[in-house]
Amino acid sequence: MTNLIPIISQKEIHDRVTDIAHRISSDYKNKDFVLIGILKGSFIFLSDLTRAITIDHEIDLVGTSSYSGTETTGIIEFTKKVDLQLEGRHIILVEDIVDTGRTLAALINYFRSLNPASIKICTLINKNERRELTVAVDYACFTIEKGFIVGYGLDYNEKYRNLPAIFDLQF
Ligand SMILES: O=P(O)(O)OC[C@H]1O[C@H](OP(=O)(O)OP(=O)(O)O)[C@H](O)[C@@H]1O
Ligand code: HPA
């Protein structure tokens, strides 16, 4: 039996995503930049974030997968690589959640090899409890200590991505 405990409302998400989008719009003024959504979990956050950014930018997507249930397998599989040419361009990696940090550590290595002008990290949720690898998060909508979080793109075994707010899944 599982329970969904509401922790972040639709209004709170909307307000924080708008704030972060405005910060990015200001920080990247007159810069050539690309938002890169990390599939699948970031798809809803990315679609709200891009529409709230008020300056020109491009979008690409990279796919990774490593979780089975609530645990990382530790093996980051690439399910899709980027399409755009990124050399010399500013990139912002858009995540739904940074948990152990393994996914982003692997992605940062991959993106460095493409020689972008800069790499920054933007995440909906920065979760501290299980962090194994240090990741410098530049933009975080919410920081939480613990829990297994679902909704607004985040899943548990592919379920709950469609929930419009964010919940703590309790077992
Ligand atoms: O910091 P970490 O411990 O690596 O966890 C974070 C990653 O785990 C989830 O992806 P998952 O592999 O479950 O794929 P999904 O986005 O398709 O759900 C989430 O979307 C992040 O990409
Ligand atoms: O708390 C989480 N929820 C959903 N997916 C995740 N992937 C890593 N941590 C989480």
Please determine, for residue 1, whether its predicted confidence score (pLDDT) is greater than 90.
no
Quick check: is 73 in a domain?
yes
- pTM to 2 decimal places: 0.98
Quick check: is 161 in a domain?
no
Pocket of ligand 1 contains residue 155 by CB under 6 Å: yes
What CATH number is attached to the domain comprising 12? Answer: 3.40.50.2020
> For this structure, is 99 an active site residue?
yes
- Span of 20-24, 71-75, 159-163 with lowest mean pLDDT: 71-75
In sequence order, which residues have a C-beta less than 8 Å from that of residue 11 and are 6 or more positions away?
none
Q: Whose CA is nearest to atom 14 of ligand 1?
A: 65
In sign, the C-alpha dihedral spanning 61, 67, 71, 76 is negative
pLDDT tens track for 30-59: 999 999 999 999 999 999 999 999 999 999
Averaged over 72-101, what is the pLDDT? 96
In sequence order, which residues have a C-beta less than 8 Å from that of residue 33 and are 6 or more positions away?
57, 58, 89, 90, 91, 92
CA end-to-end span of the chain, whole Å?
6
Pocket of ligand 1 contains residue 41 by CB under 6 Å: yes
Q: How many domains does the chain have?
A: 1
Pocket of ligand 2 contains residue 67 by CB under 6 Å: yes
Ligand closest to 144 (CA) is 2
Which domain covers residue 105, as residue numbers?
8-147
